[in-house]
Structure 1
Amino acid sequence: MINFAIVGMGHIANKHIEAIEKAENANLFAICDTNPARLEIENPNVKKYTDLQNMLEENPEIHVVNICVPSGLHTPLTKIVAEQGRHIIVEKPMSLKLHEAEEMMKYANENGVKLAVVHPNRFRPAIQKLKEQMDAGAFGKLSHANATVRWNRNQAYYDQAAWRGTKEFDGGVLMNQAIHDLDLMLWLMGPVESVQAMAATRLRKIETEDVAAAVVQFKNGALGVIEAATTIYPKNLEESIAIFGETASVKISGRNATFIETWDIEGVSEEETDKIKNEIKEDPFGKPGHQCIIEDMVLAVKENRNPIVTGEDGIAPVKLILAILESAETGKKVTLA
């Protein structure tokens, strides 16, 4: 069994608890939060701590620590965990600052530990099917891609905690909501060369943007369009990823980018297409993405290999988002190094 500990027992920690409980060869060993009231969970066998350092020093049996604290605290906690020689799963975004994300990778590498970033949308059945087709070259020369997040996060959502919507601890719609879709866009299309963008805080009383739009050029020459908003009334409308090439057009959409809306691929018959669409419709979410992340880390530790979603993968969308925000602030096209 691989023993897991969770630090930060806010809302997202519940997904980690459920994922660990369902994953093969994984055991929830301990939890940690500076607020003792958050340590009340159903499992009586789990050890409880209010200090991360104490938890690690007293329990060498812990193999992996899941970092679920506000985003602005990821870097210092990663340093503590890495220096104690434990592997790390960190929630998205990896960090709110590029140099801090790079420091996190440095801490992991220097201490010989594995670091995985939670980008669970990669494991959705429709996305997996799309990735298979792209890896097989089914699209030919790529034309462009589109990532859209039209969601509702009302003022009550941001008022739940003082850190929500802040530049120091949370980030805006790009870092907090759209980052999953930007991860998918980069995973499918490859790295970005340059970006031109606009962003605004239109409806929510927060420090960060609640709506943003950007046009990117990938290093392979293809273009991309990004639209992200938490201002949609009255509820989530759409999350989608679309890829267009000389021999294929695919759009995966729905409120959570789970259903195949368009699947036109050269050489794939209408019957085959309908079969694929129906398979996805019957099980659109598949195995929960957090569970996939946990099970992959278990195997990565046992097999001494990198996790599927590495720290480098976590850095890439952070870098893109910061370039989008820089372009929005300066009004100029930004080239990514």
Structure 2
Amino acid sequence: MNFAIVGCGFIAKKHAAAIDKIDAAKLVAVCDKDPATMEFYKEEYDAEPYTELEQMLGEEDIDVACICTPSGFHAPIAVQIAEAKKHIIVEKPIAMTVEDTDKITNACKANNVKLAVVHPNRFRPVVQELRKIMDQGLLGKISHASCIVNWNRNQEYYDQAPWRGTKQHDGGVLMNQAIHNLDLLLWFMGTPDQVFSMEATRFRNIEAEDVSVGTIKFNSGALGTVEASTTVYPKNYEESITIFGEKGTVKIGGTNALNFEHLDIMDMSDNEIEDLKESIKADPWGTPGHQWIIEDMVNAINKNREPAVTGEDGKNVLKLVLSFYESANQNQPVQF
């Protein structure tokens, strides 16, 4: 499969490196308004550079396009790619509004192209193991869950580009950093019923929030708490998800949520628990998430199935972030 990348900023290099590791994939083209940003991809991967998207999409040999632009530009670019009959991998968030998300998904359906959203944390070994535990019902009935992302993004980070930290093109800590963990929370806990949130911009000179706290009531009756920030001094402090069930308690955490920090399950022996913990510690990152998603897209096209992380998945977590924003703005609970 021949791949193209649209937008050659920081995240594009992860896509390029992932494509390069997959035997069935090849990076053949890149597109950016700034020719200088494309030099690396031409030299490293022999990818053809284009400053005009329409011209690049006219190339028949391109099968899949990865959208790596600022989030506020995802929708018009995705629609243009879909209408050119190319499959799409889009970075998170899928878009900045539900309306734009629907434009993307409708264009993909109308043109019979596949759509995958980049939520790579799903493919971390510890997350995959927790999913198996949940699927087997080993935790029993769930009472509540906790999602924490306390990280550092200093002012220099936001000053790198004028779109960073804006509500139109980037969003704050919920939309940009914590959205991956919120995706996992939905993956584990199901559909929310009601949310309540407070947010603030405490330290960073940006339009959007740099700290947020919130609560969720899920359709199951279980509760959830969310704490997210980019204000932590001097560096990333914690990324974790904890799930409390009647038959077990599990926390995946650390500076990045890569290991079982707590694993106590009624129907697992001490030896089983220790073996599982040690197997994760031996290779906490596993296959990089971007590589998982790109290889999965190749397989989805070949087998004519949906990708592992669908447009609907991307829409659901976007709706959760937007519900938090709405609640904080109204200072009251809102229905999901």
Contact 1:143 1:244 (C-alpha < 8 Å) held by counterparts: yes
Mapped partners of 1:35, 1:103: distance in 2 = 27
Q: Give, in angstroms, the shift of residue 44 of structure 1.
A: 5.5
Q: Which residue of 2 aligns with 1:236?
A: 236
TM superposition shift of 1:45? 2.5
Compute the displacement of 1:237 (Å). 0.2
For residue 10 of structure 2, what is the aligned residue in structure 1? Answer: 11
State the 1:23 CA deviation. 1.6
Partner of 1:37: 36
Give the superposition deviation at 1:271: 1.1
Counterpart secondary structure, 1:243 = strand
CA distance in 1 between counterparts of 2:326 and 2:285 reads 34
Give the Å deviation of 1:328.
0.6
Greater CA drift, 156-165 or 263-272: 263-272
Which ranges of 4 or more aligned residues in structure 1 deviate by more than 4 Å?
none
- How far is 1:46 from its partner? 1.3
1:98 is the counterpart of 2:129:
no
How is 1:82-121 mapped onto 2 (pairs within 5 angstroms)? 82-121=82-121
Question: Per the alignment, in what secondary structure is the counterpart of residue 39 of structure 1?
Answer: helix
**Secondary structure of residue in 2 paired with 1:37:** helix
Letter in 2 for 1:260: F
> C-alpha distance in 1, partners of 2:238/2:300?
34
Distance (whole Å) between structure 1 residues aligned to residue 332 and residue 277 of structure 2: 41
Structure-2 residue corresponding to 1:259 = 259
Q: Is the 8 A contact 1:24 1:295 kept in 2?
A: no
State the AA in 1 paired with 2:84. Answer: Q
Matches within 5 A, 1:1-337: 2-41=1-40, 42-43=43-44, 45-57=46-58, 59-336=59-336
Deviation at 1:24, TM superposition (A): 2.9
Q: Partners in 1 of 2:60 and 2:138 — Cα distance?
A: 48
Amino acid at match of 1:196: F
Residue pair 1:96, 1:318 contacting (<8 A) in 2 also? yes
SS in 2 for 1:40: helix
* Deviation of 1:99 (Å): 1.1
Normalised TM-score (structure 2): 0.98
Contact 1:63-1:86 at 8 Å conserved across structures: yes
Q: Between Structure 1 and Structure 2, how many residues are aligned?
A: 334
Q: Whole-Å Cα distance in 2 between the matches of residues 44 and 301 of structure 1?
A: 23
CA distance in 2, matches of 1:206, 1:191: 31
Structure 2 contact 27–45 (Cα < 8 Å) conserved: no
Give TM-score, length-normalised by structure 1: 0.98
Secondary structure class of the residue paired with 1:162: coil
Larger deviation: 277-286 or 44-53?
44-53
CA distance in 1, matches of 2:74, 2:228: 24
Once residues 112 and 34 of structure 2 are traced to their aligned partners in structure 1, the CA distance between those partners, rounded to angstroms, is 31
Letter in 2 for 1:143: S
Are the counterparts in 1 of residues 115 and 307 from structure 2 also a CA contact under 8 Å? yes
Any unmatched runs of 5+ in structure 1? none
Output one character per residue of 1:95-141: Cα deviation in whole Å (capped at 9) or x when no partner. Answer: 11111112111111111100000000000000000000101111111
Moved more, 23-32 or 226-235: 23-32
State the SS of the aligned residue for 1:324.
Answer: helix
Determine the C-alpha separation between the residues in 1 that align with 2:266 and 2:82. Answer: 48
